[in-house]
Structure 1
Amino acid sequence: MESVLQKIDDLEMKLSFQDISIEELNQEVIKLNALVARQQQQMLLMVNKLHSIEPSNMASSAEETPPPHY
């Protein structure tokens, strides 16, 4: 009879450990989701800034007139 009680105790301890592990993992997932959300927001800001930058006043290489020796 003691072996059955011991097995039940062992299972209860394992279940308790699993509950703790699941909660710790859940907290890490929450932190990572917040981090990803912040990074997405920062990326969006960077993309918007890049789109708002005015093009350079310099002509592109295709628009440049060739040097006189050509």
Structure 2
Amino acid sequence: MVPNLMTDIEKLQVQVDELEMKQAFQEQTIDDLNEALTDQQFQFDKMQVQLKFLVGKVKGFQSSNMAEESEETPPPHY
């Protein structure tokens, strides 16, 4: 019965080793995903600032000295 007991202990050790490897892989995956998410958040924040800037520019064009389309004289070929 002792050899059978060793086999059970060895099986348990193999299972523990496999679980430890899976856990280490999952930790690395979580770290990689966290880094990717952090990078994306930084890019998103940067794009929001750029978008606000562009919206301000477009609003500035609307209130400029440009005439409305209805006030424009037609081009000479009409």
TM-score for both structures, normalised by structure 2 = 0.73
Query: Runs (4+) of structure 1 moved beyond 4 Å?
Result: none
Which structure 2 segments of 5+ residues have no match? 1-8, 74-78
Q: Determine which structure has the larger helix proportion and give its number.
A: 2
Which structure 1 segments of 5+ residues have no match? 66-70
The answer to whether residue 60 in structure 2 is matched with residue 52 in structure 1 is yes
CA RMSD, aligned part only?
1.7
Q: Percent identity?
A: 30
Q: Distance in 2 between matches of 1:15 and 1:64?
A: 70
- Opposite residue 7 of structure 1, the aligned amino acid is Q
The answer to whether residue 45 in structure 2 is matched with residue 37 in structure 1 is yes
TM-score for both structures, normalised by structure 1 = 0.80
Count of paired positions:
63
How far is 1:56 from its partner? 1.4
